Amino acid sequence: MTGSWGTWLIADVGGTNARFALVDGPDGAPCLIRSLPTREHAGLAEAAAAYLARYAPDVRPSAACLAVAGPVTDGTFHLTNAGWPKGTPEEVRARLGVPYLDVLNDFEALALALPRLGDDDLIPIGGGSPNPDAPRAVLGPGTGLGVAGLVPTRSGWVPLAGEGGQVDAPAATDRELDVARLLRAEKGTATAEYLLSGDGLVRIHRYLAALDGADAPGLTAEQITERRDDPRCAEALGMFCALLGSLAGNVALTLGARGGVYLGGGILPRIADVLRDSAFRERFEGKPPVEEYMRGIPTALIVHPGPALAGAAVRLAQSLPEPHPAAAKPADAQPNEQGPNEQGPNDPHPTDLEPA
């Protein structure tokens, strides 16, 4: 049965996949979790409408919160890596016929989920214990590179959205500087996202081959992560993690993130062992003269299957002043319904709003 809040539509929309789910209010577990290829749809409203039509045709959500991989400013949003035009939440709300709809940055949603993550949702990557009353930071590579913060206030946690993935790449070694020069020659700039993303890993591998006077075999990011015995793939992965460590340290210093720096995105869980054994933490801490300060800041990899979905539900719980009328829900929309390779709330790592 649907609770007094009604059924909410929540989403985590990236440049590659748009992940949707339904949830019954702030204490419900997301159900009907489905992923749609982002580029198969003309825009956010079309993707959301396709999800509802295909998987929940009898549901009329009482509210929606859609997290998108791009800036949300001045009443407009722009999904940076999907080729979609800019849009407004009101356009999407009207298209879907939803009484209330919010759009926020995907890493802003991920930041909102941080206080809900439990020990089973995280893999520690070094450092001390988090200060529970200090700011936190989250960043991570996927199709793009997301960065956000979470700051404690008297009225609760407040997320800080931004476009930190567009800062300059933190090249430090001679080899990294050579890679950055090749990037600047190709792109006209050397921003972090151009190296710390799926396409960025491919670029690093290609630039390393060029520096060695060798032909690059044109591997995908997934293939590079799988060929760890290949010396050039191993070097590319090592440089990727080292650059990420420097960037994460910069973010920690900027926010004073003594509550911890958390790593998200779709790439890192596949290379968790590489990340742990890499120079990530060394580069994170290597910020003279504040190395001791940095050593005390913990870093951890997020392995929760749907943190941005959880954060979208948190945003609705914060934003809606009072429960909305209950919406009808089809009898076959059970909490454990899921498609192939989709995570359900009854699996070992539930996509829930409470710590797993």
Residue pair 317/26 in contact (Cβ under 8 Å)? The answer is yes
pLDDT above 90: residue 194: yes
Comparing 355 with 139, the larger pLDDT belongs to 139
pLDDT above 60: residue 272: yes
Q: 């992923």: which residue's tokens?
A: 35
Alpha-carbon torsion (349, 310, 154, 133), positive or negative: positive
pLDDT above 80: residue 4: no
Q: If DSSP states are collapsed to H, E and C, what string results for 68-109? A: ECCCEECCEECCCCCCCCCECHHHHHHHHCCCCEEEEEHHHH
Token representation of residue 20: 């949707």
- Provide mean pLDDT across the span 137-160: 95
Comparing 350 with 193, the larger pLDDT belongs to 193
Name the band, by pLDDT with cuts 50, 70 and 90, for residue 3.
low
pLDDT digits (tens, 9 = 90+) for 278-332: 999 999 999 999 999 999 999 999 999 999 999 999 999 999 876 644 444 444 4
The binding site consists of 11-16
* Closest to 146 measured CA to CA, from 113, 185, 117, 102: 113
pLDDT above 60: residue 21: yes
Position 252 scores a pLDDT of: 98
The DSSP code for 338 is B
User: What mean pLDDT is reported for the chain?
Assistant: 89
Strand partners, 150: 136, 159
Comparing 217 with 275, the larger pLDDT belongs to 275
Mean pLDDT lowest among 2-16, 216-230, 295-309: 2-16
- Provide mean pLDDT across the span 167-192: 98
- Provide mean pLDDT across the span 180-199: 98
Position 323 scores a pLDDT of: 60
Name the band, by pLDDT with cuts 50, 70 and 90, for residue 33.
very high
Concatenated DSSP letters for 282-315? HHHH--TT-HHHHHTS-EEEE--S-HHHHHHHHH
Position 322 scores a pLDDT of: 61
Position 347 scores a pLDDT of: 36
The binding site for ATP consists of 11-16
Inter-CA distances, 155 with 114, 152, 323, Å: 17, 8, 20
pLDDT above 50: residue 353: no
Name the band, by pLDDT with cuts 50, 70 and 90, for residue 26.
confident
pLDDT above 90: residue 87: yes
Vertex 68 angle, CA 65 and 71, to 5°: 115
Q: Which residue type, as a one-letter code, is found at position 268?
A: L
Instruction: For the chain, list the domains and their CATH numbers.
Output: 7-113+305-319 (3.30.420.40), 120-302 (3.40.367.20)
Residue pair 160/138 in contact (Cβ under 8 Å)? The answer is no
Which strand (E) or helix (H) includes residue 141? Answer: strand 136-141
d(CA 266, CA 310): 16
48 by Cβ neighbours in 10 Å (0-12 / 13-18 / 19+) ranks as buried
Residue ranges of alpha helices (H) inside the chain are 44-55, 89-96, 106-113, 174-187, 198-211, 221-226, 231-255, 272-277, 280-285, 291-295, 307-319
Token representation of residue 140: 């991570």
Name the band, by pLDDT with cuts 50, 70 and 90, for residue 80.
confident
For residue 355, cis peptide bond before it (omega within 30 degrees of 0): no
d(CA 64, CA 202): 36
The pTM of the full predicted model, rounded to 2 decimals, is 0.86
Q: 């989920």: which residue's tokens?
A: 113
pLDDT above 90: residue 355: no
* Closest to 21 measured CA to CA, from 316, 291, 252: 316
pLDDT above 70: residue 49: yes
Position 158 scores a pLDDT of: 96
